[in-house]
A and B are shown apart, each in its own frame.
Chain A
Amino acid sequence: MNFNATLIGQSITFIIFVWFCMKFVWPPIMNALETRKKQIADGLAAGDRGKHELELAARKAADNLRDAKAQAAEVIAQAEKRAAQIVEEAKTAAKEEGDRQLAAAQANIDQEANRARESLREQVAALAVAGAEKILRREVNAQTHADLLGQLKAEL
């Protein structure tokens, strides 16, 4: 073993190499490693979050679907009820209208009958008066018997 200045040269070289490595080699690579580690962790977290959100969304969708179904059923039931009600109302209205028309017709008929009866009565009275006139013309003075005739007409 033969020591010489190589010892010092080696030490200096070594220190320079370590300094260079410390300044220009280690930090950028460690940075890249750290950044990648972080990115991977973030990615995994995002994946987990996405999965969780998907679960939530699926649950929400199922809820919505159930609500919608319930609502639809309600609407249908209401509509059926309403339809039944409308039919019922229409029936009632129709019946009322029919009754009303029937009543009106009845009234009309009664009126016509009264009118006919009235005119018939007048005609009969006129006929009776005419008959009586014809009978009485010869024997009775029309003026003297006018009271009697009027009374008769009223009674008819």
Chain B
Amino acid sequence: MSTEAHSSGEYIKHHLQNLTYGQLPDGTWGFAHGAAEAKAMGFWAINVDSMLFSIGLGLIFLWLFRMAAKKATAGIPGGLQNFVEWVIEFVDGSVRGSFPYQSTLVAPLALTVFMWVFLMNLMDLFPVDWFPYAATLTGLPHLKIVPSTDPNVTFGLSLSVFLLVLYYSFKMKGPGGFFSELAFQPFPKILFPVNLLLEGVGLIAKPISLSLRLFGNMYAGEMIFILIALMFGGSWLLALFGGVLQWAWAVFHILIITLQAFIFMVLTIVYMDMAHAEHH
């Protein structure tokens, strides 16, 4: 029993560990075997699987859309152009709905966020064992194919958005305007330390909540897939039940991955809108 529990724990840990490249304790550079080693590498290590899969998916998105854009015609659109136009009109509608200012950045930003996050989430639908198993065959210790279950990825996205928010807050309101927005409300000016604390926490909470929401949802979804996958090691009845569960969870997950991508996009737009707005 204890060995089984141990191996289940190992299995889960194995599946939730990124392929991290960095300086090993003995001073050489290489892939970390296990979470402890990866942690010991400190900040100057890189999750190779997250980077490769996210960049690959981003390139697929850009390549598809660039192809459609190159052949974009005002006449009758082909299949790809139809699909791309549908996505773009959906994103454009969302941007127009909550961002009333002129900007050449926000709509493409929203499109990139939506499509990229969606594709990264979509990797969650691959059976959890395929890629880690294939990786162990080729000698790699770990392989996590869903980049959005890596907090580095979601924080990378949300920090970029946060920097844009700060940039536009300064640009649109000026440093004074931005400061007064943080310091002189919601309470009277006399209480500006309290205001600064409240608003500062609110400001910092934006990128953190943005990335943690996506990370948490995807991580939990992945975890449930892994837990279901554990059932395949049991009796055939349990395995069959696990198969049904996995199918049901995957179907439900289609909704979650789309929804999370959509939420990330909408919140990005809303934050950009708040950065442009004089007062909220």
A29-B85 in contact (CB<8A) = yes
- With contact pairs A25-B69, A29-B72, A31-B72 given, residues A13 and B54 touching in the complex (Cβ less than 8 Å): yes
**Majority SS at the chain A contact face:** helix
A3-B152 in contact (CB<8A) = yes
**Majority SS at the chain B contact face:** helix
- Cα-based distance from A21 to B110 in the complex (angstroms): 10
Within 8 A of B (CB), among A1-59: 1-11, 13-15, 17-18, 20-22, 24-33, 35-36, 39
Chain B residues lying within 8 Å of A4, measured Cβ to Cβ, are: 20, 22, 38, 41-47, 152
B70-A28 in contact (CB<8A) = yes
Q: How many residues of A contact B (CB 8 A)?
A: 32
Chain B residues lying within 8 Å of A30, measured Cβ to Cβ, are: 88, 92, 107
- With contact pairs A3-B151, A14-B156 given, residues A32 and B46 touching in the complex (Cβ less than 8 Å): no
- With contact pairs A10-B54, A24-B66 given, residues A33 and B47 touching in the complex (Cβ less than 8 Å): no
Interface 0/1 of B102-123, CB less than 8 Å to A: 0011011101100010000000
A21-B62 in contact (CB<8A) = yes
- With contact pairs A6-B51, A8-B156 given, residues A26 and B58 touching in the complex (Cβ less than 8 Å): no
B72-A32 in contact (CB<8A) = yes
- Cα-based distance from A14 to B59 in the complex (angstroms): 11
Chain A nearest CB, measured from B37 CB (Å): 11
Chain A nearest CB, measured from B109 CB (Å): 5
Chain A residues lying within 8 Å of B156, measured Cβ to Cβ, are: 6-11, 13-14
Q: How many residues of B contact A (CB 8 A)?
A: 53
Chain A nearest CB, measured from B169 CB (Å): 18
Chain A residues lying within 8 Å of B223, measured Cβ to Cβ, are: none
Chain A residues lying within 8 Å of B160, measured Cβ to Cβ, are: 11, 14-15, 18
Interface 0/1 of B151-172, CB less than 8 Å to A: 1110111011000000000000
Chain B residues lying within 8 Å of A15, measured Cβ to Cβ, are: 160
Within 8 A of A (CB), among B201-238: none
B74-A36 in contact (CB<8A) = yes
Does B50 reach chain A (CB closer than 8 Å)?
yes
Which residue of B42, B46, B72, B112 contacts A14 across the interface (Cβ within 8 Å)?
B112
CB-CB nearest 3 A-B residue pairs: A10-B156, A35-B74, A6-B152
Q: Told that A4-B152, A33-B88 touch, could you supply 8 new A-B pairs with CB distance under 8 A?
A: A2-B35, A10-B50, A18-B109, A20-B62, A21-B112, A22-B109, A28-B69, A29-B85
